[in-house]
A = this chain, B = another copy of it.
Amino acid sequence: MPKIVDRDERRAELAEALWRVVCRDGVAAATVRSVAAEAGWSPGALRHYFATQTELLAFAMEHVIARATERLTARTWTGSIREVVQQLLEELLPLDRQRTREAEVWLILAARTRTDPETGTLMREADDGVRRACASAVGALAGEGLVAPGREPDLETARLHALLDGLTLHALLHPDLMPPERVRALLADHLDGLRHERKP
């Protein structure tokens, strides 16, 4: 009957073209037409696999999530718990060009979230992933006695998450004021600070 193509494979092929455009010209240049041209198809054809611009950006963001998840699971963790937590959280920060591009996509979608509800659910998933990573980090440190007993894990998780996103933003917007080494130092300083008790 119909012409049959592997839909997922096509989407993967388009995703490659999409990410080529993002890496070369930035996420702002990732329009329906430019991605179609990069993949060698017409814009109308691309619309069969990504009906809207939101779906295209959502796919890019899912790509970012998949990459981050892959980095976190595939990596072999060595050293003390404290060192592993630092390394794990650093994987979520824009410390090299690749992750900077990924953070760009994240920022673009964050700005769209306020007007585009569909984007909101995806960003929610992505942020939940980071939040879980923060919770794991706090939990792991607490298990090693590296978090003072008086601290609320929920609060510390939320604070760590806010710090991470703030650092991401500053590393993106003002790389001169917030170079990778400084981001790492601030994260290390924050994690060290969790050890200390809070008295009245």
Residues of A within 8 A of B (CB): 26-28, 104, 107-108, 110-111, 113-115, 120, 123-124, 127, 155, 158-159, 161-167, 169-170, 172-174, 178, 182, 185-186, 189-190, 192-193, 196-199
Q: Which of B164, B174, B196 contacts A166 (CB 8 A)?
A: B164
Q: Which of B104, B127, B159, B173 is the one whose CB lies under 8 Å from A173?
A: B127
* Set B123, B167, B193: member contacting A193, Cβ < 8 A: B193
Q: Is the CB of B107 within 8 A of A111?
A: yes
**A113, B165: Cα distance in complex, Å:** 17
A189: B residues at CB distance < 8 A: 155, 159
* List of B residues within 8 angstroms of A161 by Cβ: 166, 170
Q: Which residues of B contact A196 (CB under 8 A)?
A: 193, 196-199
CB of A94 to closest CB in B, whole Å: 11
Q: Which of A164, A182, A186, A199 has the most CB of B within 10 A?
A: A186
For the A-B complex with A26-B114, A28-B115 known, give 17 more contacts whose Cβ atoms are closer than 8 Å: A26-B115, A27-B114, A28-B114, A107-B114, A114-B172, A120-B173, A123-B173, A127-B170, A155-B186, A158-B170, A159-B186, A159-B189, A159-B190, A161-B166, A165-B165, A169-B169, A196-B196
The smallest beta-carbon distance between A58 and chain B, in angstroms, is: 15
Interchain nearest-CB distance for A67 vs B (Å): 19
